Structures are given as structure tokens and as C-alpha cells.
Amino acid sequence: MNETLETCRLLYNDLLNDRIKNKTKVFEQKRAVTALRHCNKFLKAVHSQVLQDVVFRLDKAFNAFYACLSKYPKFKRKDRYNSFTYPQLGGFRVADGRLRLSKIGLVKIRLHRSIEGIPKTCTIIRDIDHWYACISMQLEPNLLEQKSGKPDNAVGVDLGILNLATLSNGIIFENPRHLDNSITRIITLQRRLSKKKKGSANREKAKILLAKAWRKMRNQRLDIAHKVSFSLASEYSTIVFEDVHIKNIVKNHSLASAIMDASWGQLRRLTAYKAERRGGRVILVNPSWTSQKCSGCGAMNPDMKELSIRIFECKECGLVLDRDVNAARNILAMGLEQAHAEEQPLLIKRRISKFVPVKQEAYGFSRR
Ligand SMILES: [Zn+2]
């Protein structure tokens, strides 16, 4: 599996180089890979569809760039290429607790849940010293969860550091303490790593420890995000979040706040797909003023800029409310207003590539 990853990585980099230099089209690259596979022993050792998927991935990266959704595709370093995909059943098969991967063989697996429906794709993922198989399946619609939240049951969610989520009805989801411990450990290990000599064996060891600490934190974060998003999506049919743009927080150099921001993004994404699956929806609103505005009468209270003030007190109408609940109520009101105005489908502008096809030059695979 390591060998396959390495071949795929080198192929990816070669294909990227080819696209930059020769402006090759995706179908030309697909054909070129098929032809090359006949005369290269490394390529031959990898299932043909896995290689085709590498072409597809690169194309996807370019399309995301053209649609202004991501940066220009990068060359992949050794530790930055960690998965390969069998895009069709046949390349892989699951039977008797084993996974049969074409060109690799039988691999013992631990199934976390039973396979329902028809397996469609299988992605093998390397995570330092763990390996995962991610199998996507096609299900009959009636097998999907149909249980939707009560109709017209809307909620506003204020995402925070002290509490992960505060709802407009006063329900609170706390941030687990162990996440803090993990962040502290990451900071310690990062500091330790920076003191190690470049290229030394100790530095490599420190690097792995750090990567494992990150993995632990990631898993903890994912776990809580799944729990909270499940709870939100099964209780409410309309869920309103603040649309905090990631860039705002990245400017703030604290690691903990960057991680918090990533957690919020993750929670919004997971809630969105879970709600959609149940026929619900997620609305994102502009985050400005949500904590300074009175959710009762709309008057502003500039004192609330101070984050340490936990209770919102309105000088106009006398409302007294928890700071986060007040914000969540504002978020809910804005979301419902926005939903009303925004009945039209969202159009994503796409920039169309202006590449002119250039005749392909001699193209080879760097691994020989
Ligand atoms: Zn008021």
C-alpha cells in the first residue's frame, strides 16, 4: 500500500508538471497513463483504475481552482499524499472480514459497520501508522434516515469557545475538557520539535509524536461534531449559524483559536448534510452585531464588546439574558429573515478555463 501511494504521488506530480508545461487536457492524460502503464513496471503494479483516479483527482483540483474555490494545485511532498481510490467495485471486494484489493491482495479489516447496499468506491487512507478503508455505498432511498425534525422547528446557534454551541432556546453544548488537554499537548510537542536538529533521528521521532497528537485532537473534534450535529439535525428542521469566514481567524495567530474555528466549520458542514438528509436545512448569516444587539427590541448595547460580560442587559427594554443565548436569538431572527428573501437558488459563478490545447510533447513517467 505504501508502494502504491508512492507511485500515485509521483504520477500526480508528473501529471501536474505536464499540465503546467503542455496544457494537456484531462482525456489526453487518461490516454497517456493507459499507454505508459504497458511499459513501466511501477505503474503496472498498480490497478489501472487507481491510476485513472489520480488523473481525475488532479483534474478536480484544477476545476476547484478555476471555480475560485481553492488555490493552484501543488506538487505533493511525500507526507502529503496519503490516499488512493478504487473508483469501481471489482477493483476491490469485501468478503468474510477481508478486503480484496486488486494488485495488492487480501487485507484483514475491522468493519465498523455492516455493508448495506452496493459498494461503489473504496479509498485507502494512510494516517501515520493507521490504515483506513473508506467505502462508499449506494443505498435505496428507503434505507436512508427519513426521520426529520419537526417542521417549522427553527433554531439559532451561537458557536463559542467557552461553550461549543448555545442554542436560541437556551440549550448548551459544552466544549469537552479533553480537547483543551490535546491542544496543550500539541503546543508542547511543537515547541519540542522546533528545538531538535534538522535531519536528526530525534527530530523524526518528535515529528511522529506531534502528528499523532494532531490525529488524536482531530478524532476528538470529529466525535463531538458528529454528536452535536446529530442532535441538532434530528431536533430541528431549520438551523441557523453564523458564517464566520475562516480568513478572519487565521490572522489571529493563536493555535487554539485556529482549531476552534476549524471545529465550527466542521460542525456547520456536518449539520448541513445531516439536516439535508432529513429534509431540513442550514442557513448561514452575517456574524456582525449578533452579540451587541438586543434580541428583544433591537437596541444596541456597545458594552457587550467586552467578552468578559456574560449577561446581556438592555437599557431600552430591560431584557436580561445570557450573552450567548441573546446572540443565538439574533442569529435565528436573521436566518429566518434571510430565508424569506432568498428563495432563489444560489448560483456559483464559474470561471471558464481559457487554456488553448497545445500538442502534447513527449511525456514520460519519472519513476523508472
Ligand atoms: Zn431591548
**95-111 pLDDT, tens digit each:** 888 999 999 999 999 98
From the CA of 321, how far away is ligand 1's center (Å)? 10
Tell me, what's the pLDDT at 251? 52
Tell me, what's the pLDDT at 328? 94
- Tell me what the mean pLDDT of segment 59-71 comes to: 91
The three grid cell numbers given for residue 283, joined into one nine-digit string: 442557513
From the CA of 161, how far away is ligand 1's center (Å)? 25
pLDDT at 198 over 60: yes
- Coil, helix or strand for 240? strand
From the CA of 268, how far away is ligand 1's center (Å)? 29
Query: What are the pLDDT digits (tens) for 259-285?
Result: 777 788 899 999 998 988 888 889 999
List all residues 6 or more positions away from 14 whose beta carbon is below 8 Å from its beta carbon: 363, 364, 365, 366
- Tell me what the mean pLDDT of segment 298-313 comes to: 87
List all residues 6 or more positions away from 105 whose beta carbon is below 8 Å from its beta carbon: none
Tell me, what's the pLDDT at 151? 56
Tell me, what's the pLDDT at 347? 43
Q: Going from the N-terminus, what domains does the chain have, and what CATH number goes with each?
A: 1-144 (no CATH), 145-176+219-349 (3.30.420)
Q: How does the average pLDDT of the chain come out, rounded?
A: 85
From the CA of 124, how far away is ligand 1's center (Å)? 55
From the CA of 299, how far away is ligand 1's center (Å)? 5
Which residues of 223-271 form beta strands (DSSP E)?
236-242
The three grid cell numbers given for residue 300, joined into one nine-digit string: 444596541
pLDDT at 289 over 60: yes
Q: Which residue has the cell 477481508?
A: 98
Which of the four pLDDT bands, split at 50, 70 and 90, describes residue 258?
confident
- Coil, helix or strand for 83? strand
Which pTM was predicted? 0.72
CB 320 within 8 A of CB 270: no
